[in-house]
Amino acid sequence: MTRLQLIPPVSSVSSAASSASQPSPAAAAADCASDPTPAHTPGPLMALPDKFSGDPEQCVGFLMQCELFLRQQPSLYPTEEAKVSLVCSLLTGAAREWIAALWTGGSLPFHGYTAFTQQLREVFNHPADGKDAGAQLYGIKQGWQTAAAYSLRFRTLAARMDWTNSALTTAFREGLTTELQRELACRDEGLSLDNLIALTIKLDNLLRARQPRHPAHVSSRGGSSFLPGAPGPGREPMQLGSTQLSPKERARRVQQDLCLYCGQPGHIRNTCPNRQPRRSAEPVGEPAFTLTLPITLHFDDRAVKTQAMIDSGAAGNFIDLDFARYNVVPLLSCDARVAVTALDGRPLGSGQIRFLTQDLSVTAPDHHYETLRLFAIDSPRCPVILRLPWLEKHNPNINWSVHKLMFSSAHCRRHCLQGPQGSAPAVSRPIAAAALMDISTTGVEEGLPVQYRDLQVAFSKQHATQLPPHRSYDCAIDLLPGAVPTRGRVFPLSQPESAAMQAYIQEELAKGFIRPSASPASAGFFFVKKKDGGLRPCVDYR
């Protein structure tokens, strides 16, 4: 539009030509006064820069495109305000929300285009992983990428740094696969970075061309690597060649929070979408359907969101061991091993529970709060399993027609539901399928006389770790106001008794029955010998 306005009308040109032979002095003076300034030569036509949504990886490239566009079109954007307006019109997503928040009274709080772009860099030009280009260069690895893709990423990062050629070649060589490092061992002496990259790409292409079309596993004494490609039927990425990850690769994935199965971020091995479920024995009967409840585990100022399976056939509260280790859930060792089996009688995992968690604060929707301890087992399909006593304690209402679990019992209203919506029920998510599990009590019945076998639950060590529900005939413990707790007697113990006492303390700590205390009050502790030669711990509370 501006270019068209600079061209005078054709009729005016014709009139001026007809009267040019007899100009008057006044007309000549007027023509001299109205002689227009020569038009600016337009720059080359350029496409508008791509829109910027706030992605930190795209910030520098976006500002470069804007700078080039404005340099080539100075007549279209002659003022600082016009330049800022152009850049603002190209912002979308989070970047547009940011600039809209600064828009007050029809103007922006910037003195010019340079100040605006500087503020844009300060807000958005940050690497997503928190590492600058130097830190990324130090830790970049080729992995499953081709050498060409790896070198492109390396050059992009190297362009932001002022490293010397020898430092760049060393960093580039360290990030290559073991196979390529072996091929370059006697060929890369004295090469510049450009020559080293060209040679590496050539060798990588030759090695890949010699490999069979189907995915193959390349192993060496120094380590192992996998060629890119989808695994063949029935073979999983971690099973190709029946070789596990090398210790170095496993440590790298753990350090960078990558999946131990596929090497991608955002999930763990147990929930990897690329992992095919393993075939197992035919199930015994139809699988039971149980509810799942979204919960959040709170520990050490951290919060981990997951799903809990409500299993009426389970006799314990469980957490998947891999899930607990991945999320650094505090675990305690179980001195008394508890046997655990699946519904068909097969041992679950190693067949014994070796760890349990510390007290965890567990929250569910609508301010449902409680404290739980969970036994750690191998349960990759469900991170957390809640048992029958948990159901009995909370007594939730189950709407089977819509597959919902609602907490509205008197216990939950009194102890679990918190906040302004304490009376509102917590609702679970849709039903999920899972197989029932049970804690084994094998060995209890065989060791009991016949007349006591109908009371074997009373002799179960597993049930002894759980407090019974409150009953109408509970004994009250009345505290005397102002009374001073007494100090217990000190009983001398022999070496076997001291060892037994330490074992007893560790076992009770693991169960959660006792906890460390700095109180001056104490109770005497001693042992009484059993008929079978064992020691029975006794605590004197008198």
Q: What is the pLDDT of residue 429?
A: 38
* Shared domain check, 385 and 322: yes
Angle between helices 193-210 and 147-158 (to 10 degrees): 160
Q: Does residue 347 surpass a pLDDT of 80? A: no
User: At 230, is the pLDDT very low, low, confident or very high (cuts 50, 70, 90)?
Assistant: very low
* Shared domain check, 407 and 318: yes
Within-domain flag for 259: yes
Q: What is the pLDDT of residue 507?
A: 79
Quick check: 540 and 523 in contact, CB under 8 A?
yes
pLDDT digits (tens, 9 = 90+) for 393-414: 877 877 776 666 777 677 777 7
Name residues whose C-beta falls within 8 Å of residue 348's C-beta, 6 or more positions apart in sequence.
340, 341, 342, 377, 378, 379, 437
* Shared domain check, 262 and 222: yes
Q: How far is CA 365 from the centre of its chain?
A: 21
Within-domain flag for 279: no
Within-domain flag for 476: no
Q: Between 202 and 348, where is the model more confident?
A: 202
Q: Does residue 222 surpass a pLDDT of 50? A: no
Q: Between 369 and 200, where is the model more confident?
A: 200
Task: Look up residue 459 and give its amino acid.
Answer: F
Share of the chain above pLDDT 70, in %: 66
pLDDT digits (tens, 9 = 90+) for 15-30: 434 444 454 544 444 4
Burial (CB count <10 Å: 0-12, 13-18, 19+), residue 456: middle
Q: What is the mean pLDDT of the chain?
A: 71
pLDDT digits (tens, 9 = 90+) for 84-94: 888 888 988 88
Q: Does residue 493 surpass a pLDDT of 50? A: yes
* Shared domain check, 209 and 79: no
Taken in order 98, 103, 109, 113, is the CA torsion positive or negative?
Answer: positive
Per-residue pLDDT, averaged over 377-392, amounts to: 79
Domain final residue, candidates 439, 458, 480: 439
Within-domain flag for 29: no
Q: What is the pLDDT of residue 471?
A: 79
Quick check: 271 and 262 in contact, CB under 8 A?
no
* Shared domain check, 203 and 69: no
Q: Does residue 377 surpass a pLDDT of 70? A: yes
Cα–Cα distance, 234 to 240 (Å, whole number): 10
Within-domain flag for 182: yes
* Shared domain check, 223 and 151: yes
Quick check: 325 and 341 in contact, CB under 8 A?
no
* Shared domain check, 214 and 73: no
Q: For the chain, what is the domain count? A: 4
* Shared domain check, 429 and 293: yes
Q: Using DSSP, how many helices (H) and how many strands (E) does the chain show?
A: 18, 17
Q: What angle do CA 163, 165, 167 make, to 5 degrees?
A: 60
* Shared domain check, 262 and 145: yes
Q: Does residue 538 surpass a pLDDT of 60? A: yes
Name residues whose C-beta falls within 8 Å of residue 151's C-beta, 6 or more positions apart in sequence.
172, 197, 200, 201
Q: Does residue 439 surpass a pLDDT of 50? A: no
Q: What share of the chain is helix, strand, coil (3-state, %, to 5)?
A: 35, 20, 45
Q: What is the pLDDT of residue 195?
A: 87
CATH number at residue 312: 2.40.70.10
Within-domain flag for 455: no
pLDDT digits (tens, 9 = 90+) for 497-517: 888 888 888 877 777 778 887
Domain final residue, candidates 401, 418, 439: 439
Q: What is the pLDDT of residue 127?
A: 62
Within-domain flag for 452: no
Segment of 6-10, 103-107, 201-205, 445-449 carrying the highest mean pLDDT: 201-205
Among the listed residues 241, 245, 190, the one whose alpha carbon sits nearest the alpha carbon of residue 223: 245
pLDDT digits (tens, 9 = 90+) for 75-86: 888 888 888 888
* Shared domain check, 365 and 306: yes
* Shared domain check, 391 and 293: yes
* Shared domain check, 145 and 120: no
Q: What is the pLDDT of residue 17?
A: 40
Quick check: 15 and 23 in contact, CB under 8 A?
no
Within-domain flag for 114: yes
First to last CA, the chain: 101
Cα–Cα distance, 537 to 88 (Å, whole number): 76
Q: Does residue 342 surpass a pLDDT of 70? A: no
pTM above 0.75, yes or no: no
Q: What is the pLDDT of residue 276?
A: 64
Q: What is the pLDDT of residue 239?
A: 39
Q: Does residue 12 surpass a pLDDT of 80? A: no
Q: What is the pLDDT of residue 131?
A: 55
Q: What angle do CA 494, 498, 503 make, to 5 degrees?
A: 150
Q: What is the pLDDT of residue 346?
A: 52
Domain final residue, candidates 81, 98, 124: 124
Q: Does residue 121 surpass a pLDDT of 70? A: yes
Cα–Cα distance, 48 to 76 (Å, whole number): 13
Quick check: 285 and 344 in contact, CB under 8 A?
no
Containing domain of residue 184, as a range?
A: 141-230+237-271
Q: How far is CA 221 from the centre of its chain?
A: 33
